[in-house]
Structure 1
Amino acid sequence: MGKFSNGIFGNFYGKVGNVVGSNWRGIDYLRSLPRMTKNRVASQGQMEQQAKFGLITAFLSSLRPFIEVGYKKLAVKQTAYNVAVADNVKNAISGNYPDYTIDAAALSFSRGILPLPLDPAVVAAAERHVSFSWTDNSKKGKALDTDKVSVLLVNQVDEESEYSLGTVTRADAALDIAVPAGWVGKEVDCYLFVASANGKEVSNTFYGGKITIVE
């Protein structure tokens, strides 16, 4: 793939022969069409990578708003979603091909240097609520009391999730989130991260473990 700008005939878009001109995120590119090979068989490595990619993209597809905040700073000339997919394909897959599974403890929904709140914890509460708590550690490093806290609950059995995106601050030190009635008696995985009020800084993801939802 070649990058160009202001060629002798200006920027070129479309197809001529086996060359395609296009623009992505403000950058003009020239690329050749892929060479088609009849009866092409994927290698073992390609099949393994495709299986991992499919597993992670299916899991993350409904969490784009959450990921857009958590991976925004790393989205340089690519989308936050694509960065998150690559990160989790590399780090959050367990098992051997073709029996891959997602390692809940290794999943990442954010990546950055902003300090997490002190002593984050999560417990199941009555009436299908999940209670997150933490200690306000404002002024530690870049941590501020105005930092926005986001939490995520994942029900892998039903392939469902619930999240709260920046509705409380580091100074609030607590957040309750309700879950659907169908989750009662089931285990969910719990996650938390923090982003600065202007969205420029973000923490890594805290994994709070599994809890069982109660009535």
Structure 2
Amino acid sequence: MGRYVKGANGAFSGKVGSVVGSSWRSINYLRSLPKITKKGASEAQIAHRTKFAISSQYLRPLKDILNIGFSDQQQAKSSGYNMAVRAFFNNAIIGEYPDFEVDFSKMELSRGSINPLPGLGYVEANPGELSFTWQTDTNKYNAFADDAVLLVIYNQSKRMYMIYDEASRADGTFSVAISINYSGDVLHAWGFALHRDGKLASTSQYLGTLTVS
């Protein structure tokens, strides 16, 4: 793939012969058309595609959250979502093809320079209620009382996410009502802090698994 500078008539876009012109994130590219082959994919290629499909399956529902969570780590050529997919692909998928599994403890929802939330954890305080708690430590550099606290719960049994952003670092606690239909379901949870400007985050913390009573 080649990168080029606009000519007198602007950027080239489209296909001419065996060359395709395109643009992504304000960068203009030239690339050749892929060669047509009847050769079947190797097991390594199939494994790679399977891991990528698993990564997309778990992370696409969180795309907006991931773009925020990795906002202060983004590079010009990569979105926060793409960075999260890369990390998930490399770290959170374990095992050998075709028996891949997801290690939720290695799944990252954010990566940044804001202080994490000390002591962050959760329990089923009462039937139908989850209670999250953390220490309210602050400083004037990277841990502010009005940092938003984002909490994400994944119901592994029902394959769905729940996202909460109403709490702040200064609160120290937050309760979540859960459906009675979740009885016996396996949950995973993460949390991270987000600066008031929405551009700086803490690195996400995995809070472990919990089976709803």
TM-score w.r.t. the length of structure 1 is 0.92
CA distance in 1, matches of 2:95, 2:134: 33
SS in 2 for 1:108: coil
SS of alignment partner, residue 133 of structure 2 = strand
Q: Deviations over 1:1-23 (max 9, x none)?
A: 11122224321111111111111
- Aligned residue for 2:57? 58
Instruction: Summarize deviations over 1:172-206 as a string: whole Å, max 9, x none.
Output: 11111223332122220111111111122211111
CA–CA distance in structure 2, aligned partners of residues 5 and 146 of structure 1: 45
Question: Does residue 138 of structure 1 match 2:142?
Answer: no
Counterpart in 1 of 2:113? 113
Q: How does 1:28-177 map to 2 (within 5 A)?
A: 28-38=28-38, 40-76=39-75, 77-139=77-139, 141-165=141-165, 167-177=166-176
Output the CA distance in 1 between the equivalents of 2:83 and 2:193: 18
- Quick one: percent identity of the two aligned structures? 33
**What's the CA shift for 1:139?**
0.4
For residues 111 and 192 of structure 2, the distance between their equivalents in structure 1, rounded to whole angstroms, comes to 9
Aligned to 1:198: 197
2: distance between equivalents of 1:183 and 1:197? 33
Structure 1 residue 95: Cα displacement:
1.5
Distance, in Å, in 2 between the alignment partners of 1:8 and 1:49 is 42
User: For the aligned residues, what is the CA RMSD?
Assistant: 1.6
Letter in 1 for 2:174: L
Do 1:162 and 1:179's aligned partners in 2 also have CA atoms closer than 8 Å? no
Partner SS state of residue 118, structure 1: coil
Runs of 5+ unmatched residues, structure 2:
none
SS state of the match for residue 119, structure 1?
coil
8 A contact 2:156–2:185 mirrored in 1: no
Q: 1:148 to 1:73 in 2, by over 3 A?
A: same
TM-score (norm 2): 0.93
Q: Secondary structure at the match of 2:130?
A: strand
Q: Where do 5+ consecutive residues of structure 1 fail to align? A: none
Q: Structure 1 residue 81: deviation in Å? A: 1.4
Is it true that 1:12 corresponds to 2:29 in the alignment? no
Structure 2 counterpart of 1:155, one-letter code:
N
- Equivalenced residues, count: 212
CA contact (8 A) 2:122 2:130 kept: yes
